[in-house]
Structure 1
């Protein structure tokens, strides 16, 4: 089969012939129709990710058709259109992942290939209202945003929600999930165009985080937030507690702008604020996310589609962070 293979850090992916995976009982071989990129894939290509091995086939997100299964009990999957939950081995505690937790696309070969091997418990029917490209966009970013909002952030209808850096795949899903749940959503971005696009998706308003008074602008617009979803950290994080209503939750799943700066802890305990970390999600989170998506017929935002052979161009676009929504590969 053909696959995009990463041979070493800081080198382009190579489109080459590799062996088709062999199956064990409980596993399925999915013929990939579409795959999608995540920031994780970019970090791996530049060698800044834990546990990197070479050669490796990247790609956590994928949608396709089940071609083979490893056991007779799973024969009902053959021919079915599916999307893949890329996280497996979460463990028994829903509050955090176990030491055995893995994400498809490292260490196990991922979806930037004609076929991918995955345990059948991680297969889910493709939502019927989505195209192949839209379906591939859902799994990793959609799950991360869902858990941040609902499992950790405990958002409810009518809450005021702030999403920082809305142009990313996770940020865009967080916006769509929160709007579907009946929240009033505000956003930040370094691009006026991305803020305008967020408004078309249901955001009440947005501010440019490059402005000196971005936090003051948000307070004027919203008056305070019940839940803040952040994936940047960095110096700007110090202003987030000032934007919180009493009892608010700040949920973090990334650190693209650096580490958490010094904070005024008195504001945190006096106003009963919670600052929580999250990543990916449990199998139950994934099923709940799909239920929300299907109930509200949410359509993921696809920024641009590349062929599998052009994956290097797609990764270059992700490096520059010019996308709004998800970048997709068509096999």
Structure 2
């Protein structure tokens, strides 16, 4: 089969490797489409824990089950599926366990014509989604769903702020908030991305590069009940500033590093909750798929590349030039 292989730091090749075979409890999926996440770029750059070389990256994928191992229901064969990339979450709904991992490292990932996954990770593909849309959903959709609903408990009518709109998780959080009846707002450094977010249902947005954006946001909205963030860094205190009393800030990353200071007096006096979150449990996954089917949500796909042009797909994500998910289709 053909696949994306990372043989060493900052090296990427599309190569031929032997077809994978399922073990007990596993299934082989012939991948129709896969999607990139920042995780894949960090693995390529050697900036992720547990690196191994060579590896096949990719956490997102959709395709058709072609083989099943011992102990797996044979009726899975021939079914169109999406893959839950959240492996071995554990029994605690509040947080992942010690054996938790994400598809694409250390287990070989979806940027290949075939991938082997544990059968419990299979879910029927939502019928209203194309292959590209289905491939775009799993990791970012699950992360956004847990952050917004399981952790931040966003409710209809609340004001929700999604920072850095344009990436996959942020766009899903926007779509989910709008579908749930919340009043969604966004931040970005790009007026064009804010305009596109408004077209998807956002009430409005603010350029986080403007020195006075936080004061304008509070004046215009009264503050936000829920804030979804992945940047952190020196500007994290601004999110505390724009949180309404009793607000909840859920963050699933720290791409700009740790905040140099934390305004604890503001946080405790206004009873703001800080909520760390990552990926999602099997229950979150089931709720996500049901929500997407019920609301007929379609993921935003930014660009589609054939497998042989996977290096271009990675380059686009490395430039952060996308608006939505970057998808790779299989020959």
Gaps of 5+ in 1: none
Equivalent runs, 1:86-235 vs 2, <5 Å: 86-235=85-234
1:44/1:73 CA distance change after superposition, 3 Å: closer
Is 2:27–2:72's contact at 8 Å kept on the other side of the alignment? no
Taking the aligned partners of 2:104 and 2:308, their CA distance within structure 1 comes to 17
Q: Is the aligned partner of 1:7 residue 2:7?
A: yes
Deviations 1:34-91 (A, max 9, x none): 0000000000000000000000000000000000000254101000000000111111
User: Aligned partners of 1:126 and 1:320: how far apart in 2?
Assistant: 30
SS of 2:143's partner is helix
Tell me the secondary structure at the aligned position of residue 318 of structure 1: helix
Cα distance in 2 for residues equivalent to 1:119 and 1:247 = 41
**1:19-40 alpha-carbon deviations (Å, 9 max, x no partner):** 1112112100000000000000
Alignment partner of 2:293: what SS? helix
Aligned to 1:310, what secondary structure does the other structure show?
A: helix
Which portions of structure 1, spanning 4 or more consecutive aligned residues, are displaced by more than 2 angstroms? Answer: none
Counting matched residue pairs gives 330
TM superposition shift of 1:220:
2.1
| In structure 2, distance between residues paired with 1:244 and 1:207 | 15
Decide whether the 8 Å contact of 2:34 with 2:58 is kept in 1: yes
What is the root-mean-square deviation of aligned Cα atoms in Å? 0.8
* Aligned residues of 1:167 and 1:324 also touching (Cα < 8 A): yes
Distance 1:269 1:76 in 2: 54
What is the 5 A alignment of 1:231-246?
A: 231-246=230-245
Which structure 2 residue ranges, 5 or more long, are not aligned? none
Q: Deviations over 1:215-249 (max 9, x none)?
A: 11211221111000001001110111111111111
- Partners of 1:300 and 1:314 lie apart in 2 by 18
- Provide the C-alpha distance between the structure 1 equivalents of 2:296 and 2:187, rounded to a whole number of angstroms: 25
Alignment of 1:250-261 (within 5 A): 250-261=249-260
Report whether the alignment pairs 1:52 with 2:38. Answer: no
Matches for 1:63-78 after TM superposition, within 5 Å: 63-71=62-70, 73-78=72-77
Alignment check: 8 A CA contact 2:34 2:136 kept: yes
Tell me by how many angstroms 1:203 deviates. 0.2
